[in-house]
Amino acid sequence: MTLLEIRNVTRRYADFEAVKSVSFSVAGGEFFTLLGPSGCGKTSILRMIAGFDPPDAGQILLDGRDLAGIPAERRPIHTVFQSYALFPHLTVGQNVAFPLRLSGVPAAESRRRVHESLQQVHLAELAAHYPHELSGGQKQRVALARGLVNRPRLLLLDEPLGALDLKLREKMQLELMKLQREVGITFIFVTHDQPEALALSHRIAVMNRGRIEQLDKPSRLYGFPKNRFVASFIGNCNLLEADVLECREGRLRLAAAGLGEILAAPAPTPGARAGDHGVLALRPEQIQIGVDPTGENRFTGHVRDFLYAGDVTTYQVTLDTGLEVAALRPNDAPGRAHFFEVGDRVTVGWAEDAGHYVAD
Amino acid sequence: MISARRRSTPVWLTLAAGAAFAFLYLPLIVVVAYSFNDSRLNAEWVGFTLNWYRVLFDDAEMLHAARNSLGIALAASLCATLLGTLAGLAMHRTRLRWLPLLVITPVAMPEILQGVSLLVFFIQVLHLTLGLVSVVLAHITFSLGFVAIVVRVRLEGMDEGLFEAARDLGATPWQSFRLVTFPLILPAVVAGFLMSFTLSLDDFVITFFTAGVGVSTLPLQIYSMIKIAVTPEVNAVSTLLMLLTLVLVVLASRLDKGFMKGVA
């Protein structure tokens, strides 16, 4: 069931087009994410849905009804702000009760629902405290409780975890997913943090310069990026320039710069033809590195550098042809920080169905 | 060892600071002291008395001036607070660059200029008989800017998201003002009121030009008395005025700063 529909929405600021004729729809109960670098237009879309700014062109429909002309306060849509925007003169309980008070919920029921909402975010015992007495993570939860207490049709979250430190962030991500499942309210989440988007969302719209580059499930975005931008923005990726020599029987023969002729699986969307130019997107974890790696495509080179990340180490390998690739290897042997030293001769290899050809 | 090596303040700095404070506060202390001096002359200390306060409270003219002063201050500061708050809100919201300038300029204008121009305006343009009303109007004009500045500074320091959050959660513009904006600026509004009250109470120059004959306020009364001699009664009334001002100023500064903790 479509809950929200964005139709050819455009938004301009002075001489700058922040959102360029964007369309997408969000289903009821979905955890939908707008992902992109800062300035890509994701927050502008959120503000138009909330009703803070009107679109310059296009329509926003909620349950099939056009929201044009309906002010923010009359939309059944609430927002969790990046700054939390908790009212400093009200207690935690009063903050959460704020939307109930405005919609005329009787005092007794309001108390019950505020308590219930605060329990959901594990803060019931802090109801009488003021926002300035809370930690960042606690403020975040109060903002969530306040956004959810009046059961909006849609909850908008503007980089809500942006101000938290890494550990707390991961904990809040899990809580956010659990909370969304429990309350069953549709979430539209805005972030520039791609691991966060991959972890939380049912679907992600990757945005760049006011347009949606790709809208897909997280695993599809990661595995089958549609273009160079998505391939490089989502996760780490080796982008190898390549020309298509031949496409037949479910195989691509490519002439890759610095590699010569290699075999690759075709894009799931058909259409690659001989003579096309594009890139082969290879994830570092798809490249084996060792003395005798597996895979049909194999090249020798030496380790130029490596990045130790605890669980894994990423090796920057300079191939004998001069091309640079990144390959990743888990540090699964006990006490092992890395398998190779800078300067070591290594062989890298990958299976012909690893990677993914992206046409320009 | 890296122990807490406390750097002591140099002696000359302490002395300089002491001298500066002495310069600021000695004259005030002298006035207060002489108001309790059992002598007609401000010359030598004779003994402690509350006599001059008794004289003061028996002085019908002085009491009348005091009533005028308090009445004018109350009326003018209430109006200035209302208008100044609205001006502060408008300055915060508007994109017009010249509006803040327009509201704040009178604050910086020389008082003598304001006095003369108001006098001319009241008489030539409004054809107003000078009296309590003209003084109140004049006091409103010079205190309004102060209130507007205090309110605006308070608004600038606040997260814009708060007002959007109020709307987002279902508040109409009026509810948003009543439930969020106003409670948040209230300390500044009260501080602005106390400040205008003090300014009005202490004002001499503008009052002098706009009061006309027959209307006297405390500063005008004190001035007319010292034309003859600085009597201990003047010291007594000055002491009381000083006390009231001090209380109002301390109250105003406590209010606006203390509340800031809640916003951070």
Tokens of B21: 């404070």
Q: Which pLDDT tens digit goes with each residue over B75-107?
A: 999 999 999 999 999 888 887 778 888 877 877
Domain assignment of residue B3, yes or no:
no
Give the total residue count for chain B.
Answer: 264
More confident: B10 or A163:
B10
> Is there a contact between A89 and B184 if contact means CB atoms under 8 Å apart?
yes
How far does A104 lie from chain B, in Å, by closest CA?
Answer: 11
Q: Which chain B residue has the Cα nearest residue A84?
A: B161
Closest-CA residue to A205 (of A11, A41, A80): A41
Asked whether the predicted pLDDT for residue A207 surpasses 90, the reply is: yes
Mean pLDDT of the A25-53 span = 94
> Is there a contact between B161 and A81 if contact means CB atoms under 8 Å apart?
yes
pTM score of the predicted model:
0.81
**Is A156:A188 a contact under the CB 8 Å cutoff?**
yes
Q: Are residues B139 and B256 in the same domain?
A: yes
Domain assignment of residue B246, yes or no:
yes
**Is B203:B141 a contact under the CB 8 Å cutoff?**
no
Q: ipTM value, please give it.
A: 0.82
Beta bridge partners of A356: A281
Locate tokens 């989440």: which residue?
A189
Cβ contacts of A334-339, under 8 Å, gap ≥ 24: A337/A308, A337/A313, A338/A306, A338/A308, A338/A313, A339/A289, A339/A290, A339/A313
- Tell which of A47, A102, A150 to mutate to test the B interface (max B CBs under 10 Å): A102
Q: What is the pLDDT of residue A78?
A: 95
Q: What is the pLDDT of residue A319?
A: 92
- Tell which of B95, B158, B169 to mutate to test the A interface (max A CBs under 10 Å): B169
Mean pLDDT of the B45-70 span = 86
- Fold (topology level) of A2-228: Rossmann fold (3.40.50)
**Is A304:A345 a contact under the CB 8 Å cutoff?**
no
Mean pLDDT of the A191-215 span = 94
Q: Which residues of A touch B165 (CB under 8 A)?
A: 79, 81, 85, 87
Asked whether the predicted pLDDT for residue B70 surpasses 80, the reply is: yes
Nearest to A102 among B164, B170, B184 (CB): B170
Q: How confident is the model at residue A70 (pLDDT cuts 50, 70, 90)?
A: very high
What DSSP assignment string belongs to B195-262?
A: HHHHHHHH--HHHHHHS-SS---HHHHHHHHHTT---HHHHHHHHHHHHHHHHHHHHHHHHHHHTHHH
Tokens of B137: 């109007």
Q: Which pLDDT tens digit goes with each residue over B13-53?
A: 999 999 999 999 898 888 888 888 887 777 777 788 888 88
Tokens of B196: 């205008």
Q: Which residues of A touch B179 (CB under 8 A)?
A: 98
Q: What is the pLDDT of residue B262?
A: 34
Q: What is the pLDDT of residue B214?
A: 78
Closest-CA residue to A75 (of A2, A140, A25, A150): A150
Asked whether the predicted pLDDT for residue B146 surpasses 70, the reply is: yes
Nearest to B169 among A52, A71, A99 (CB): A99
Tokens of A354: 């690893």
What Å distances lie between residue B180 and A85, A360, B26, B38, B250, CA to CA? 11, 52, 45, 56, 26
**Is A314:A213 a contact under the CB 8 Å cutoff?**
no
Rounded distance between C-alpha atoms, residue B21 and residue B27, angstroms: 11
CB–CB contacts below 8 A, A to B: 67
The amino acid occupying position A4 is L
Q: Which domain holds residue B33?
A: 10-49
Domain assignment of residue B67, yes or no:
yes
**Is A28:A1 a contact under the CB 8 Å cutoff?**
yes
Mean pLDDT of the B217-243 span = 86
> Is there a contact between A87 and B165 if contact means CB atoms under 8 Å apart?
yes
A30 contacts: CB under 8 Å, gap ≥ 6: A3, A186, A187, A202, A203
Domain total of chain B: 2
**Is A281:A273 a contact under the CB 8 Å cutoff?**
no
Q: Which residues of B touch A49 (CB under 8 A)?
A: none
How far does B231 lie from chain A, in Å, by closest CA?
Answer: 50
Name the least confident of A67-71, A272-276, B118-122: A272-276
Q: What is the pLDDT of residue B259?
A: 40
**Is A242:A254 a contact under the CB 8 Å cutoff?**
yes
Closest-CA residue to A190 (of A214, A154, A219, A158): A158
How far does B199 lie from chain A, in Å, by closest CA?
Answer: 30
Q: Are residues B211 and B95 in the same domain?
A: yes
B165 contacts: CB under 8 Å, gap ≥ 6: A79, A81, A85, A87
> Is there a contact between B262 and A88 if contact means CB atoms under 8 Å apart?
yes
> Is there a contact between A98 and B161 if contact means CB atoms under 8 Å apart?
no
Domain assignment of residue B166, yes or no:
yes
Q: How confident is the model at residue B260 (pLDDT cuts 50, 70, 90)?
A: very low
Rg over alpha carbons for chain A, rounded to the nearest Å, is: 25
Q: How confident is the model at residue A266 (pLDDT cuts 50, 70, 90)?
A: low
Nearest to A87 among B162, B164, B261 (CB): B162
Asked whether the predicted pLDDT for residue B4 surpasses 90, the reply is: no
Domain assignment of residue B4, yes or no:
no
**Is B59:B233 a contact under the CB 8 Å cutoff?**
yes
Q: Which ranges in chain A are annotated with CATH 3.40.50.300?
A: 2-228
CA angle A316, A318, A322 (to 5 degrees): 145
Q: Which residues of A touch B180 (CB under 8 A)?
A: 87
Q: Are residues B157 and B258 in the same domain?
A: yes
**Is A98:B178 a contact under the CB 8 Å cutoff?**
no
> Is there a contact between B169 and A146 if contact means CB atoms under 8 Å apart?
yes
Q: Are residues B39 and B71 in the same domain?
A: no
The bridge status of strand A345-350 relative to strand A297-308 is antiparallel
Tokens of B42: 């401000």
Cβ contacts of A129-134, under 8 Å, gap ≥ 24: A129/A91, A129/A92, A130/A88, A130/A90, A130/A91, A130/A92, A130/B262, A131/A84, A131/A86, A131/A87, A131/A88, A131/A90, A131/A92, A131/A95, A131/B262, A132/A88, A132/B261, A132/B262, A132/B263, A132/B264, A134/A92
Q: Are residues B42 and B165 in the same domain?
A: no
Q: Are residues B36 and B75 in the same domain?
A: no
Domain assignment of residue B96, yes or no:
yes
> Is there a contact between B263 and A132 if contact means CB atoms under 8 Å apart?
yes
How far does B252 lie from chain A, in Å, by closest CA?
Answer: 19
Q: How confident is the model at residue B256 (pLDDT cuts 50, 70, 90)?
A: low
Cα A295 to the chain's mean position, in Å? 31
Handedness of CA A77, A81, A85, A86 (dihedral sign): positive
Q: What is the pLDDT of residue B261?
A: 38
CATH number at residue B138: 1.10.3720.10
Nearest to A89 among B164, B171, B183 (CB): B183
Q: How confident is the model at residue A275 (pLDDT cuts 50, 70, 90)?
A: confident
- Tell which of B168, B189, B260, B261 to mutate to test the A interface (max A CBs under 10 Å): B168
Q: What is the pLDDT of residue B178?
A: 94
Closest-CA residue to B161 (of A299, A79, A48, A281): A79
A33 contacts: CB under 8 Å, gap ≥ 6: A188, A189, A190, A191, A197, A200, A201, A203, A204, A205
**B interface residues, A as partner, C-beta within 8 Å:** 159, 161-162, 164-172, 175-176, 179-180, 183-184, 261-264
The CATH class of the A236-359 domain is mainly beta
Angle between helix A166-183 and A136-148 (nearest 10): 20
The amino acid occupying position B52 is W
Q: Are residues B114 and B20 in the same domain?
A: no
Q: What is the pLDDT of residue B5?
A: 54
> Is there a contact between A72 and B167 if contact means CB atoms under 8 Å apart?
yes
Q: Which chain B residue has the Cα nearest residue A72?
A: B168
CB neighbours (10 Å) of residue B83?
18
What DSSP assignment string belongs to B103-161?
A: HHHHHHS-HHHHHHHHHHIIIIIS-PPPSHHHHHHHHHHHHHHHHHHHHHHHHHTS-HH
Q: How confident is the model at residue A39 (pLDDT cuts 50, 70, 90)?
A: confident
